[in-house]
């Protein structure tokens, strides 16, 4: 009869506490209990040192991570607004667009939209971000929206941890991403083949129903929330006021 | 229990006691993130860094850490290295960091790493612990790369994103999906077991031509 190789005499197998090093002096099976004060001091010191190290590394890494995020966002805005000539960032303050973030909020976390304009200074549409829980974790989506036409220009998933091979098709499946091009708001997710050809229909992905539905939901909810703000703001006037008299670039403006 | 030489400490984890292929530890990352060679490599390097760093610190402070809270202390050390690895990967290779997702943070619970601390680094001198960690970490990386190469070649027809077979190749997509991870690991373990079995058999025939005794793993090596 075959026997599997025994591993009992393997030094790796010694997991019992108190086992000494091979060949070393045998240790007493029972050790005196360590005082609670020492246990607490040791762990507290170790925790404090670990925290210090992490803070130092974070200080080094965070600017790089933020710079990368900003670059990804810039590229995504270009993509969902179909390469606008220039992009302005507007903050949403008390139901209106403002050039400056609301008091007490920083430029990163404040709610904002990005207005893209073509070469003649005519607005193309707004790039809007939104996030909601998907199947695994929050899905962060950016999409272009033209409030005049009431149409979504394009959609791009910025962050998602959806299941590889299934839910990640919301950004890997180009057919699904293309469904959002020029789709009329509000979007309506339909099963493939069940559509009636209406312009607000988006074919969902088989096997990724929750992820698809989340993306559609994010876009609908964000448009619903921002529609009053965007339609009351006259894009041409906002654009003119930003690029008009004085000529100095506004803080939120970034040319492409 | 036999004492080991420094060379044995180093090379044992690479092949003979490979953490994934022989000890079957660390299977979660080996199954989850080996769908491409680049991901496998990044995961292997991150795990290597965490393992070597943790073994070094655990071995250095083994006399200071009270026995009662040793596991908490190991976890604290490991978690610190994992957080560092996570931040550095996010800053240096953001695309790969995004692909690996939560699995970087999950290195904390890789039993291969905690196992080396408890079974080896907490009882041996610093040098030996480092050798052991380097060997085990290398073994883990080899296993990850075996899985990653197998899966990327079959599932995507490429290595490190470079297409191998041209447009005529229809990728065998299942191999980059989760079931492909299990299939690949199964095939690799099968091949590994067959090879070990053959080796044992040849020794058995040579040493005990008439007997039924089974050589131990040490004699086989």
Q: How far is A171 from chain B (nearest CA, A)?
A: 13
Q: How far is A234 from chain B (nearest CA, A)?
A: 38
What's the pLDDT tens digit per position in A54-79?
A: 999 999 999 999 999 889 989 999 99
What whole-number distance in Å separates Cα of residue B72 and Cα of residue B74?
5
> Which DSSP string do the residues of B28-65 spell out, in sequence order?
HHHHHSTTSHHHHHHHHHHHHHHHHHHHHHHHHTTTTS
Evaluate whether B10 touches B135 at the Cβ level (below 8 Å): yes
> Residue A29's pLDDT is what?
61
Which of B35, B92, B123 minimises the CB distance to A164? B35
What's the pLDDT tens digit per position in B73-87?
A: 999 999 999 999 999
Q: Which residue on chain B is closest to A48 by alpha carbon? A: B76
What whole-number distance in Å separates Cα of residue B178 and Cα of residue B202?
37
Q: What are phi and psi of A154, to 5 degrees?
A: -170, 165
- Report the residue of B19, B70, B94 to disrupt the A interface, i.e. the one with the largest count of A CBs within 10 Å: B94
Q: How far is A208 from chain B (nearest CA, A)?
A: 15
What's the pLDDT tens digit per position in B117-162?
A: 999 999 999 999 999 999 999 999 999 999 999 999 998 888 888 8
pLDDT at B21 over 90: no
Encoded tokens for A91: 């903050």
Higher pLDDT, B166 or B220: B166
> Residue A41's pLDDT is what?
92
The answer to whether the Cβ–Cβ distance between B79 and A50 falls below 8 Å is yes
What's the pLDDT tens digit per position in A98-140?
A: 888 877 777 777 888 899 988 888 888 999 999 999 888 899 9
Give B-chain residues touching A57 at CB under 8 angstroms.
83-84, 87-88
Evaluate whether A231 touches A145 at the Cβ level (below 8 Å): no
Give B-chain residues touching A140 at CB under 8 angstroms.
none
- Report how many Cβ contacts below 8 Å link chain A to chain B: 102
> Residue A34's pLDDT is what?
82
Helix axes B70-92, B37-60, angle to 10 degrees: 140
The answer to whether the Cβ–Cβ distance between B123 and A20 falls below 8 Å is yes
What's the pLDDT tens digit per position in A133-147?
A: 988 889 999 999 998
What whole-number distance in Å separates Cα of residue A90 and Cα of residue A109?
13
Q: How far is A41 from chain B (nearest CA, A)?
A: 10
What's the pLDDT tens digit per position in B195-214?
A: 889 988 888 888 877 766 56
Within chain A, residue ranges assigned H as helices are 36-80, 169-172, 174-178, 209-232, 235-243
What whole-number distance in Å separates Cα of residue A179 and Cα of residue A155?
9
- Name residues 56-95 of chain A within 8 A of B (Cβ): 57-58, 60-62, 64-65, 68
Q: How far is B39 from chain A (nearest CA, A)?
A: 13
- Name residues 144-163 of chain A within 8 A of B (Cβ): 159, 161
pLDDT at A220 over 60: yes
- Residue B93's Cβ-side half-sphere holds a number of Cα atoms within 13 Å equal to 16
> Residue B113's pLDDT is what?
93
Please state the ipTM of this predicted complex: 0.78
pLDDT at A21 over 60: no
The pTM score is 0.72
pLDDT at B216 over 90: no
> Residue A94's pLDDT is what?
79
Give B-chain residues touching A159 at CB under 8 angstroms.
98
């Amino acid at each position: 009869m075959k026997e599997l190789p025994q591993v009992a005499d393997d030094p790796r197998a010694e997991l019992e506490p108190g086992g000494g090093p091979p060949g070393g002096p045998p240790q007493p099976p029972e050790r005196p209990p360590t005082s609670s004060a020492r246990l607490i001091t040791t762990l507290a010191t170790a925790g404090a040192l670990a925290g210090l190290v992490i803070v130092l590394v974070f200080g080094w890494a965070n600017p790089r991570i933020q710079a990368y995020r900003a670059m990804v966002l810039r590229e995504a805005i270009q993509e969902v607004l179909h390469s606008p000539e220039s992009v302005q960032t507007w903050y949403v303050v008390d139901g209106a667009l403002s050039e400056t973030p609301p008091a007490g909020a920083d430029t990163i976390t404040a709610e904002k939209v990005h207005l893209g304009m073509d070469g003649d200074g005519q607005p193309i549409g707004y790039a809007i971000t939104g996030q909601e829980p998907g199947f695994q974790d929050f899905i962060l989506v950016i999409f272009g929206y033209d409030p005049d036409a009431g149409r979504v220009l394009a959609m791009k998933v910025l962050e998602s941890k959806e299941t590889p091979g299934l839910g990640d098709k919301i950004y890997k499946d180009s057919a699904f991403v293309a469904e959002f091009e020029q789709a009329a708001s509000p979007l309506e997710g339909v099963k493939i083949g069940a559509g009636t050809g209406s312009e607000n229909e988006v074919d969902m992905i088989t096997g990724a129903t929750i992820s698809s539905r989340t993306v559609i939901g994010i876009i609908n909810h964000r448009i619903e929330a921002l529609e009053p703000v965007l339609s009351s703001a006259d894009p041409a006037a906002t654009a003119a006021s930003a690029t008009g008299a004085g000529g100095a670039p506004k803080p939120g403006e970034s040319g492409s | 229990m036999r004492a080991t030489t420094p060379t044995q400490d180093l090379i044992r984890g690479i092949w003979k006691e490979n953490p994934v292929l022989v000890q079957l530890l660390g299977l979660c990352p080996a199954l989850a993130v080996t769908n491409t060679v680049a991901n496998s490599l990044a995961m292997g390097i991150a795990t290597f860094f965490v393992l070597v760093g943790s073994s070094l610190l655990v071995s250095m402070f083994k006399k200071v850490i009270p026995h009662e809270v040793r596991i908490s202390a190991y976890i604290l050390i490991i978690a610190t290295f994992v957080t560092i690895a996570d931040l550095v990967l996010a800053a240096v290779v953001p695309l790969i960091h995004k692909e690996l997702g939560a699995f970087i943070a999950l290195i904390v619970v890789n039993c291969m790493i905690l196992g080396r601390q408890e079974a080896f680094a907490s009882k041996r001198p610093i040098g030996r612990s480092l050798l052991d960690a380097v060997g085990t970490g290398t073994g883990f990386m080899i296993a990850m790369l075996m899985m990653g190469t197998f899966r990327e070649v079959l599932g995507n027809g490429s290595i490190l994103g470079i297409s191998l077979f041209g447009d005529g190749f229809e990728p065998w997509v299942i191999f980059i999906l989760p079931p492909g991870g299990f299939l690949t690991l199964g095939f690799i373990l099968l091949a590994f077991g067959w090879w070990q079995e053959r080796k044992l058999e040849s020794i058995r025939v040579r040493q005990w031509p008439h007997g039924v005794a089974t050589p131990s793993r040490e004699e086989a090596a």
